Structure 1
Amino acid sequence: MPAPTFLVADDHPLFRTALIQVLRERFAQMRTVEAASAATLGTALQEHPELELVLLDLAMPGARGFSSLLHVRGEYPEIPVVVVSSNEHPRVIRRAQQFGAAGFIPKSAPAEDMALAIETVLDGGSWFPPMAAERSEADAALAAKLAQLTPQQFRVLLCIADGLLNKQIAHELGLAENTVKVHVTAILKKLECYSRTQAAVLVKSLEPESTA
């Protein structure tokens, strides 16, 4: 059996090192790929089709709340994603599950629990801490709407949320301005939004609750 390859996406080098150490103790032959931002996460996914699991921190540069999770699930649905986060708010855990994560590991979890969670997901299961938050129909509806977007449309949506104009989005993504215009029209229709501002507010709702 070939050695599994894991993608560890976190902007803190020390935590990436610690998590890789946990993996190495349980999966001696495994290989790891690292990412420290939403952009390097996307590059790593493109360059490593052999990936079997993504371990994802939600709070990375370039990410908007759950946007990286939604991006990976939309573009690479065959690769399971385990969220590894310091934000243990019950609704954050529940939303991660509703937005397609196969597991959620609090950063405060013991190494043994981390290893068990990863093994469970690799075996086709799921692993989440006990959750007090109820399933949200609004989140389910939002996830269903966002799932209709193509990966490129999702990138355009994040640019809209950052307040960029079509011309700026075209420059940012290397697209023709007319192509961006077509994407924006399709995005607003799929999300049932009447304006760019309404779409931006929808993206804002992807931000996780504060742990405070």
Structure 2
Amino acid sequence: MESRGSYKLLIVDNEPLILEELEEFLSDHSLPCVTCSSPQEAIQRFHEDSEINIVLSDLYMPGMTGIEMIAHLRASADKRIFETILLSGQSDKQDIILALQNGVSDYLSKPLDLDATLASIRRLCEVIEQRREAVGLDTIFKRLQSISSSLEEVYQDISQVRKPGQPPEHAPRPANIDEASPLAKLSPRQFEVARLIAKGLSNYQISHELSLSENTVKLYVSQILRITRLQNRTQLALALAPREYP
């Protein structure tokens, strides 16, 4: 995964002097560059180097235009975050429209104003950072949703825990549990998880056995150990071992 503030540029142009000028200028501003003289070479380098996240490309090159190359990168990059700048000595309005339609982020005219080029790159660095943060927030949100779902399952189960003297509301536990035992305080689902722990199943295996998420199983295990005042799964297994529960 790319770290915050990490940027690497791919410069594509069939004019060696432009490649050399841009690489030297951008390197002086702490922006590492990879240079390619053809779209075909650039496509290969882009896929080989996952750190590349800004592409500067000339518009007209032999074999493939910069627009076609960028469209290819967009189509094959899956969820990779990167931005693009198209460079051209011509200012055809139709080219600009076509470039934007194919995912080009910015359009600069040749001969290049190096300061304007740097400013455009800096803007795209900010865009990349915003996109990274959005992806990070989306990941956190999905994790929170999963945890929330797991907690809801557990809270529903907590509400079903039988208090002393109350009849069981769901499937009864084995009859040979001593009412004074901490095991008697477990809800039917908690006891079911405890029984599978005693059989040596992992959290992952228990989650499949009971059709629960692994996060939910972890919460159950934590609850069971707290309620029974046992230190670990081994002690729980030993506490259940003398009893032959189905």
TM-score relative to the length of structure 1: 0.53
Q: Are 2:40 and 1:11 equivalent residues in the alignment?
A: no
How far, CA to CA, are the matches of 1:35 and 1:70 in structure 2?
17
Residue-by-residue CA offset, 1:165-205 (whole Å, 9 max, x unaligned): xxxxxxxxxxxxxxxxxxxxxxxxxxxxxxxxxxxxxxxxx
Contact 2:9 2:56 in 1 (8 A): yes
How far, CA to CA, are the matches of 1:94 and 1:67 in structure 2?
13
Q: Match for 1:115 among 110, 115, 118?
A: 118
Amino acid at match of 1:39: Q
> Offset of 1:52 from its aligned partner?
1.6
Deviating above 6 A after TM superposition, structure 1's stretches of 4 or more consecutive aligned residues are: none
Amino acid at match of 1:93: I
Partner of 2:49: 48
- Judged with a 3 Å threshold, the aligned counterparts in structure 2 of structure 1 residues 121 and 3 are, in CA distance, closer, same or farther, namely closer
Structure 1: gaps (5+ residues): 126-212
Partner of 1:84: 87
- RMSD of aligned C-alpha atoms? 2.0
Residue-by-residue CA offset, 1:106-146 (whole Å, 9 max, x unaligned): 12242111111111111118xxxxxxxxxxxxxxxxxxxxx
Amino acid at match of 2:37: A
Structure with the larger RCO, 1 or 2 (CA within 8 Å, 6+ apart): 1
> Offset of 1:97 from its aligned partner?
1.1
How far, CA to CA, are the matches of 2:72 and 2:12 in structure 1?
13
Partner of 1:104: 107
> Offset of 1:32 from its aligned partner?
1.1
Amino acid at match of 2:72: H
Partner of 2:26: 23
Structure exhibiting the larger radius of gyration computed from Cα positions: 2
How far, CA to CA, are the matches of 1:72 and 1:48 in structure 2?
13
**Which has more helix, going by share of residues?**
2
Residue-by-residue CA offset, 1:22-46 (whole Å, 9 max, x unaligned): 3124x32x22111111210111012
TM-score relative to the length of structure 2: 0.46
State the percentage of identical aligned residues: 22
> Offset of 1:3 from its aligned partner?
5.0
Partner of 2:34: 33
